[in-house]
């Protein structure tokens, strides 16, 4: 099952830069783990904002919820979760090109 | 250059079903062409709505604008265009796995 | 997988009453089928509006999308789909009472 | 009388984790009591957010107001209360299946 | 049980004046009946708009829903229903003045 | 002149409970005075929120503004003021029943 | 009593120009009458829109409501009514300059 | 050139009353100066809120911007600036009455 | 005086293509005239929408209002007008480069 | 590639004036550098607000993102990025006047 997430991050202005850096580092490490687990497929940064779109795949909603909540920056995130299905047009294009279905 | 589009389609209720079908057919054919040109990378349907997210790649903003406007259902679409850049975390994951950078 | 839907229905004012009645009848018949299939679990009417909350269960997002789109009033609906998981508190209560997990 | 509640919880970022844990524990204990009293029927977590839908039953609006206000996290909640009635379709399905009317 | 309704009426501009007048007449007659039944307690017009606040009393949510839906202008109304309870301050004032509790 | 007020109260989370209680007590005492003066006619609590609807009567807008501003919780209130006039239907009902016009 | 109105006018696109002109003419004639009656004090057009701010004075809310409703374009208007009182600073300035209080 | 400003003031709840009073005093003194300069024509308080409408006249946009920014409460204000022109109807009324054009 | 306009155009779906083309042609011809008059400085199309930002210069608000209203597509436009002043940084850059102040 | 940015700045009220001044100074110095690099083309202040429109040119989205993020006030900014293309009408006007295409 695929889901598109739109995440906007707001760190409190009073947080020290060192703490922000540490948080960012932990966030990126965790994201790499989630990619390794095949749960987080891709992230795209939104230009000019501290925000991103990301594509997730999860076998159950419980798994998706747990993985989202495991991100160290979760308490600072506003998250919109949109359930997705593949569009017949991209599926047709993959089939025509002999490509395995992509995410 | 990558762009995420969120498209919501609203066909007028008084449009005849046959005209809707013809429009849908032309829309899908045009989408396949745009995929063939490498401009439209993927489309995901949003569950429970006549709406989708899609990922586009274009060398110039003029090209992007022209391709979006060439969709037969364009007059019935509400479109949000978000410029994107790759996130360092997915780039790192691709590099680690020896994968070519994906879209 | 569970999903909460909030559906608001807007029939065009120029639609004849007989057509509205026929549409409503087909809508209710289809809803009964969806209940029979175990996809639509419950519907609650929102007091004072032509709107409702409904609880759905589906094995895949594709199945959910297809079932939602099969409702005869779909073209007149504004639909919000929210993915849900059971809350540990209601699960604990079911367990304590020796009840099978409810929906 | 049935009511659907949509609750979004926002804990202040400066609250210590231990205090958050204690508050969460008291919240869950109170929720179990409300289930035991038959006031709170079910809770569903909204995937990817600290938010939930919940179904309540109360004999009076005064009772409903008191029970909602008794939740330890009430001061941190944004709550929407929607009065509900059963939909004829789910009532028909229950009757046909010889099931007692469910909530 | 008390409920505050905020109703905004929008008649289609193409409706003939005679039809509007007939509709208005039926609406007022029905409102008088609802007052006679003790369901509709008071209506206040909002200055400068075709809109009103109204106070309703109903023994059940089903009764309230049916009565609201029985208004001839219902298809042209946008309605917000807010469940109410008496405030202790107005109750205290009534008690102090030896007045029966008012609505 | 009649006015409907919708008031939403937000006390800062860091305010001590004792201060909240004292403020609430002063607020209720002031509300009772305003009822005694015939300016505040009724208050209804909105179920599940720290919010209310209230009906006010004032001979001038200056008087209304002063009375609203005299509430101890005023700095913590978001207030919407809607000017009202009696609806002909409730006036007709009062006349028919030989009741003095109510507020 | 003073009131600020913000009025946005939307004429249906299918209305013939001659009808629009006749409506505009009647609207302006009625506005002149309202100025003559001292109810409508001033109108200011909002640059780049078919919209305006206007200042009204009325002895009662009933009178204000009737006068607003008497405008020929009323069915095509979206109107916000804001009750006003004079600010002590402009009153002080008028007093200091020996000017009669202005509107 | 005329401009309508809608200003909403929000003072931080933690600001001491004495500081609020001093700020208010400075604000009123500055407003009187702006009236004396003919830049600020009138202010009307919005009933039941810490907000106002005000009418400004300035020869240039630079002058308007500087004068608005010179208000001591500027950092606590949310300001909407709407450019205005006189409406032909009030101009006609002034001409008919032999009044000099008013603001 | 400078103004930024954000214009969104919505042509009615039932308008014939030939009429749309004629309207577009007249719109562009008028825009060229406005550029020739020095009122309309530049237009930028917004990618993926029938919308644009445009920079206008006008000696008076009356002139600006008239010019905006003279566009053939005006009845189909939603327009936001924002008064602008030059930013000291771009003025400094122009001065440093010996450039005449640009628009 | 051209982009319009709408930036709203909100400095925390508790920040000392000296720190605000230092931040503003650094912001302006950085803006001058960005103009020197040809990335930031122009800035226009929005009258009556701490906000501006600005026109940017960048060869890639990555470059644009980096340059926006390099502004010292970035953490205090709410930014909307709109991709733009030149409008054929201003291009035609430039061509007719023998002007090089402007930004």
Q: pLDDT, tens digit, for every residue of I59-77? A: 999 999 999 999 999 999 9
Torsion sign across C-alpha atoms C32, C36, C37, C39: positive
pLDDT of residue E96: 84
Mean pLDDT of F34-53: 97
Tokens standing for H49? 């809120």
What is the reported pLDDT for A90? Answer: 84
Instruction: Specify the pLDDT at position F60.
Output: 96
Compute how many other C-beta atoms are within 10 angstroms of the C-beta atom of residue C34.
Answer: 20
High-pLDDT (> 90) share of chain I, %: 80
Chains that touch G (3 or more CB pairs under 8 A): E, F, H, I
| Residue A58 near residue A64 (C-beta atoms within 8 A) | yes
G49: chain I residues, CB-CB within 8 Å: 79, 81
pLDDT the model gives residue E95: 84
pLDDT band for position J69 (cuts 50, 70, 90): very high
pLDDT at H64 over 60: yes
- Domains of chain C, CATH where assigned: 2-96 (3.30.70.1060)
Question: Which of A3, A61, A66, A69 to mutate against chain C (most C CBs within 10 Å)?
Answer: A61
Which residues have CB under 8 Å from G40's CB, separation 6+?
G31, G34, G54, G55, G56, G67
pLDDT-flagged residues of chain E (< 50): none
Task: State yes or no: pLDDT of H42 exceeds 80.
Answer: yes
Strand residues in F29-103 grouped as ranges (E) = 40-46, 51-57, 77-86
For chain C, the residues whose C-beta falls within 8 A of a C-beta of chain D are 2, 4, 28, 31-32, 35-36, 42-48, 52-54, 82-90, 92-93, 102
The count of residues in chain D is: 103
Encoded tokens for C50: 């032509």
Numbered residues of chain D with Cβ closer than 8 Å to any chain C Cβ: 2, 4, 28, 31-32, 35-36, 42-48, 52-54, 82-90, 92-93, 102
Torsion angles phi and psi, residue H82, rounded to 5: -120, 115
* CA dist list (Å): J46 to E92, H80, I84, I87: 52, 11, 5, 9
B46-49: long-range contacts, CB 8 A cutoff, minimum separation 24: B46/A82, B46/A83, B46/A84, B47/A82, B47/A83, B47/A84, B47/A85, B47/C61, B47/C64, B47/C65, B47/C68, B47/C81, B48/A83, B48/C5, B48/C64, B48/C65, B48/C68, B48/C69, B48/C79, B48/C81, B49/B8, B49/C79, B49/C81
Residues 6+ apart with CB under 8 A from A51: A6, A7, A8, A9, A45
Q: Name the pLDDT band for C41 (thresholds 50, 70, 90).
A: very high
Higher pLDDT, J23 or I94: J23
Residue A9, strand partner residues = A77
Category of G32 on φ-ψ map: left (φ > 0), alpha (ψ -120 to 50) or beta: alpha
Percent over 70 (pLDDT), chain C: 96
Angle between helices E88-96 and F17-36 (to 10 degrees): 40
Instruction: Work out whether strand J40-46 and strand I51-57 pair parallel, antiparallel, or are unpaired.
Output: unpaired
DSSP label at residue C74: G
> Residue I4 is encoded by which pair of tokens?
């930024």
- Which residue of H35, H84, H93 is in closest CB contact with G89? H35
pLDDT band of I93, cuts 50, 70, 90: confident
Question: How many CB atoms are closer than 10 A to CB G38?
Answer: 12
pLDDT score recorded for residue A103? 55
Pairing of strands J2-9, J77-86: antiparallel
pLDDT, average across residues F19-40:
96
Query: Is residue A9 packed enough to be buried (19+ CB in 10 Å), middle (13-18) or exposed (0-12)?
Result: middle
pLDDT of residue F100: 67
Give yes or no for a contact between H32 and G89, defined as CB atoms under 8 angstroms apart: yes
Q: In tens digits, what is the pLDDT along chain B, a chain of 103 residues?
A: 999 999 999 998 789 999 999 999 999 999 999 999 999 999 999 999 999 999 999 999 999 999 999 999 999 999 999 999 999 888 888 888 887 665 5
Among chain F residues, the shortest Cα distance to H14 is held by: F12
For the stretch C24-36, pLDDT in tens is 999 999 999 999 9
pLDDT in tens, F52-74: 999 999 999 999 999 999 999 99
Residue D102 has pLDDT above 70, yes or no: no
DSSP for chain I reads -EEEEEEEE---TTS-HHHHHHHHHHHHHHHHHHHHTTSEEEEEEETTSSEEEEEEE-SSHHHHHHHHHTSTTGGGEEEEEEEEEE-HHHHHHHHHTTPPPP-
* Among B48, D41, D78, CA closest to C82: B48
Q: Please list every residue in chain A whose beta carbon sits closer than 8 Å to the beta carbon of residue C83.
A: 3, 61, 64, 81, 83
SS3 C11: coil
Determine whether the interchain pair H90/G45 forms a contact, defined as Cβ–Cβ distance below 8 Å.
no
pLDDT of residue J98: 80
> What is the DSSP pairing of strand F77-86 with strand H77-86?
unpaired
From D96, D2, D94, select the one nearest C42 (Cα to Cα). D94
Residue range D76-95: mean pLDDT, rounded: 91
What are the tokens at H8?
A: 């909403």
- Residue J51: the pLDDT is 97
**Residue C22 predicted with pLDDT over 70:** yes
Helix J17-36 vs helix I88-96: angle between axes, to the nearest 10 degrees? 40
- At how many degrees (to 10) do helices G17-36 and H88-96 cross? 40
Predicted local confidence at residue E88, as pLDDT: 86
User: If you ran DSSP here, which 8-state letter would residue C83 be given?
Assistant: E
Please give the residue of chain A at the shortest CA–CA distance from B46. A84
Cross-strand pairs, G86? H44
Residue G73, φ and ψ in degrees, nearest 5: -90, 5
Residues in chain C, how many?
103
E102 vs F contacts (CB less than 8 Å): 42
Question: H28 phi and psi, to 5 degrees?
Answer: -65, -40
| Whether I81 and G47 lie within 8 Å, measured CB to CB | yes
End-to-end CA, chain H: 10
More reliable by pLDDT, A103 or A58: A58
Q: Count other Cβ atoms within 10 Å, centred on residue E16.
A: 8
Token pair recorded at residue I31: 């825009």
Cα–Cα distance for residue pair D66/B28, rounded to 1 Å: 55
The pLDDT of residue D100: 67
pLDDT band at H6, cuts 50/70/90?
very high
Neighbors of chain E by Cβ distance (3+ pairs < 8 Å): C, D, F, G
Mean pLDDT value across chain H: 93
d(CA C91, CA C96): 9
Contact between J32 and I92 using a beta-carbon 8 Å cutoff:
yes
| Residue-wise DSSP of chain E | -EEEEEEEE---TTS-HHHHHHHHHHHHHHHHHHHHTTSEEEEEEETTSSEEEEEEE-SSHHHHHHHHHTSTTGGGEEEEEEEEEE-HHHHHHHHHTTPPPP-
| pLDDT tens by residue, D1-60 | 999 999 999 998 789 999 999 999 999 999 999 999 999 999 999 999 999 999 999 999
Average pLDDT, chain J: 93
Mean per-residue pLDDT over chain A, rounded: 93
What span, in angstroms and rounded, lies between the C-alpha atoms of H88 and H65? Answer: 27
Q: How far is C77 from chain D (nearest CA, A)?
A: 17
**J64-67, long-range: CB within 8 Å, 24+ apart, which pairs?**
J64/A47, J64/A48, J64/B83, J64/J1, J64/J3, J64/J39, J65/A45, J65/A47, J65/A48, J65/B85, J67/J34, J67/J37, J67/J39, J67/J40
Which residue bears the tokens 């032909």? Answer: H88
C and E make contact (3+ CB pairs below 8 Å): yes
**Residue G36 phi, psi dihedral angles, 5° rounding:** -60, -35
Residue G39 has pLDDT above 70, yes or no: yes
């Amino acid at each position: 099952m695929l889901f598109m997430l739109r995440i906007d991050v707001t760190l409190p202005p009073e947080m020290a830069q060192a703490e922000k850096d540490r948080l960012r580092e932990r966030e990126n490490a965790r994201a790499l783990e989630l990619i390794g687990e095949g749960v987080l497929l891709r992230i795209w940064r939104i230009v000019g904002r501290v925000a991103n779109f990301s594509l997730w795949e999860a076998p159950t909603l419980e798994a998706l919820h747990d993985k989202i909540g495991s991100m160290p920056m979760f308490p600072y995130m506003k998250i919109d979760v949109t359930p997705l299905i593949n569009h017949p047009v991209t599926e047709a294009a993959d089939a025509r090109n002999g490509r395995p279905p992509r995410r």
